[in-house]
Amino acid sequence: MSVIGGTLTAVLSLGYFHHVKLIMSSKTTLCAPTAPKKPHIHDVHDHQRSDDYFWLRDDTRGSPEVLEYLEQENAYTEQQMAPLATLQRDLYAEMVARQEPQLESVPYFKKGFWYLSRFEEDKDFPIFTRSPDSMAAPQELLLDCNDRASGQAYYQLGGLALSSDSMLMAYAEDIVGRRQYTLRIKNLSTGEDCVDVIEDVASVEWANDNQTLFYVKIHPETLLPYRVYRHTLGDLVANDVLVYEELDDTFYLSIYKTRSEQYLVIGIESTLTCESLVLAADSPTDNFVSFLPRQRAHEYSIEHFDGQFYVNSNKNAKNFALLTTTEPMNKDCTGWTTLIPERPDVLLESFELMQGWLMVEERQAGLPLLRQISLTTGESKTLTFNDPTYSVFSHHNPEPNSSKFRYQYTSFTTPSSVYELDLNTGETVLLKQSKVMGTFSSDDYQSERLWIAARDGEQVPVSLVYRKSLFNHHNPILIYAYGSYGHSMDIGFSSANLSLLDRGFVYAVAHVRGGEDLGRHWYEQGKLLNKKNTFNDFIDVSKALVEKGYGAKDKVFAMGGSAGGLLMGAIINQAPQLYKGVVAAVPFVDIVSTMLDESIPLTTGEYDEWGNPNAEQYYRYMLSYSPYDQVRVQDYPNMLVVTGLHDSQVQYWEPAKWVAKLRALKTDDNQLLLHTDMEAGHGGKSGRFKHLEDTAREFAFLLDLADGQRAQGMDSPK
């Protein structure tokens, strides 16, 4: 195997796997941890619900008893995985070897500067630079995240925001993993940071005076973004002006500047209802005003360009319509002009405004579409692609006064590719395609798109890919899904997944209900009191893929994370016999307890997604599928469960409690492993390569279960 940057790979591999080797050499054999039961009763709606592992919840994340238990689980997992240390090391090394040693973004031009981000060889984090006028000019360093991350166990850049004159840069950083960002401001003329430091920021935007910025503050307990402040450069943060506070804790706040840069917008959003507040960016001390007052079940978002507001709205338009108005304050939608009407078979997802053109991202029959519309003639053209399943979306287009539009395309067999389309001539140029180091050829792989009938007759789309030379109708198959929040599962290329495909796996994505893959109705059929459709779809897809010869009956695997982890918990309670092994990442499995606790981040904002269990109808329904509450005395498949101690989206104690209860009740000898990353949050490890350590662990777990011989590699590139 050819390893690029071999020295670094060896060092990382040795560091990562050293503790595994120590366990292998140890003579002590650890037993599966047994969490003590401490009776705790939840009494809701005259129903007593037993929760023997409630004690594993520690909001401080400092309880010696809890931390000791998590470390015991980690030690047990490492011991059980120790025989796979060589496989893990090989997987990690080959995944790293496929990465470009040096990686650069496609440069873009804005207000006199060419901007670029890059990864240097052997570096985990990006470096941001710019050059005045021409890419040939000397590069000015904006931020080196490798320096910023030095000495930190975790580092995540939240984003960069430049002032209107491009000489001040606000940047936000998280060094814990709970998405609690610290905001700093750099003077790009001097290269020095300003004295201004603001804690617990969710988003930020500059006014046009280059002295005033607005930021969204998160709640100290719930972590909800709930307040917007105005800060003047150099002033004490304690003197910042509160310009808006959201008193309804089912809504989240964000802030952005419109395409025209004439308005600042506070976005107020819940699952079903939205509102936008606007302020002229040239008048930062004025008050934000409501663009259109919120109305229950009306979702809308706004943009402004060339003297008009563009509104993406679902008012009397389930799949959304695009309308225009010149007024920044509206009592209702009367007088608005319809630019794109609602269509029952096409979901309008987003749009971008260019010089003389409107670019629209849509979705039809489960596939994303990119359509250009002339704002002068109304002429419309949809871009077409050859792959049976793919993703396409707008790339970074910071200059609206341009007829050159950049978009990004990827598929199971096509690495991420950035194109530039001349909207006037139709000429398309490939600017950059991600490289896969080694002997990769897309011709070696086959992607397909299937429609599978669920038990109620609905047709569920499934996307899958496999290596042609290894496909024999008896392959191990890994099925992935999410199925919540109206999040559509777009298909993209993964060089890491080649490590499974090259060992004979078929990889499938089930576009189950709860996503918005087939439009708004697809989402509505997989939420609230229809949530069980999500689980039924996944189970029915699993059975059908075996029947159709895409996977061997005894080698079916499932994977999902977060709300997809809830899906994993539900399917193993309902149909454990279907799956050889399951990987559940940061799984949302204690749904009833969490949705009853308004102090937990995200709870109140998700009543319209899952239901409010304070209402008995929703309580009973959620309880009937809650993975934690529905664990029972039965056999379960092999399982690897992963979480992060500092997770703010799904608290670590949900998977910890779930695993403890599974251990107590399951009747099989299959593996049940819990790994808690003690330094990470919901997104896992930070850094370009570190997340591949987690992927190597998960893939080794799956490959070992599938076939020890396959774990050595079959017909894989050398």
Catalytic site positions: 562, 647, 682
The total of other beta-carbon atoms located within 10 Å of residue 148's CB is 16
Q: How far apart are the first and last CA of the chain?
A: 5
* 149 Cβ neighbours under 8 A, 6+ residues apart: 124, 125, 155, 686, 687
Question: How far apart (Å, rounded) are the C-alpha atoms in residues 228 and 247?
Answer: 12
The candidate with the shortest Cα–Cα distance to 576, out of 664, 667, 459, is: 667
H-state helical runs in 355-458:
none
The total of other beta-carbon atoms located within 10 Å of residue 699's CB is 26
DSSP conformation class of 63: -
* 256 Cβ neighbours under 8 A, 6+ residues apart: 203, 205, 264, 265, 267
The CA distances from residue 407 to 410, 417, 421, in Å, are 10, 8, 8
Question: How far apart (Å, rounded) are the C-alpha atoms in residues 696 and 92?
Answer: 5
The candidate with the shortest Cα–Cα distance to 606, out of 275, 274, 270, 273, is: 270
Question: How far apart (Å, rounded) are the C-alpha atoms in residues 57 and 603?
Answer: 16
* Amino acid in the structure at residue 521: H
Give me Rg for the CA atoms of the chain. Answer: 26
- Counted residue by residue, the chain has a size of 718
The total of other beta-carbon atoms located within 10 Å of residue 350's CB is 15
Question: How far apart (Å, rounded) are the C-alpha atoms in residues 478 and 560?
Answer: 10
The candidate with the shortest Cα–Cα distance to 481, out of 464, 496, 499, 467, is: 464
Phi, psi (deg, nearest 5) at residue 590: -105, 60
Question: How far apart (Å, rounded) are the C-alpha atoms in residues 555 and 503?
Answer: 13
* 27 Cβ neighbours under 8 A, 6+ residues apart: none
Question: How far apart (Å, rounded) are the C-alpha atoms in residues 70 and 537?
Answer: 34
Contact status, residue 298 vs residue 274, Cβ threshold 8 Å: yes
Question: How far apart (Å, rounded) are the C-alpha atoms in residues 205 and 199?
Answer: 15
